[in-house]
Amino acid sequence: METVKLSQIVERLAPELSPYLTSRELDLRIVLRDGLAVLEPGDVMEIVQHSICNGQKQTMLQ
């Protein structure tokens, strides 16, 4: 397992998404079961989508 910031994932595999994410989203810590080395671009989209949805849920709960 490896814990990385979402910004590391985006910078490495989908830098074009960076302007669309907030600094708070980019600072989120993501736990990767198999590590950063095995991620593919399709995985990045799924991780970003889940991160944004979870962030929105937290905002609504507050």
Taking only the tens of pLDDT, the chain with its 62 residues reads: 999 999 999 999 999 999 999 999 999 999 999 999 999 888 999 999 998 887 776 665 55
* Domain coverage including residue 30: 2-61
Do the beta carbons of residue 10 and residue 17 sit within 8 Å? Answer: yes
The pLDDT score that the predictor gives to residue 58 is 63
Per-residue pLDDT, 51: 87
pTM over 0.75: yes
pLDDT for residue 54 = 79
Domains contained in the chain, number:
1
- DSSP readout, the chain? -EEEEHHHHHHHH-GGGGGGS-HHHHT-EEEESS-GGG--HHHHHHHHHHHHHHHHHHHHH-
pLDDT computed for residue 9 by the predictor: 95
Distances (CA, A) of 41 to 31, 45, 57, 61: 17, 7, 25, 31
Give the pLDDT confidence score for residue 48 in this predicted structure: 92
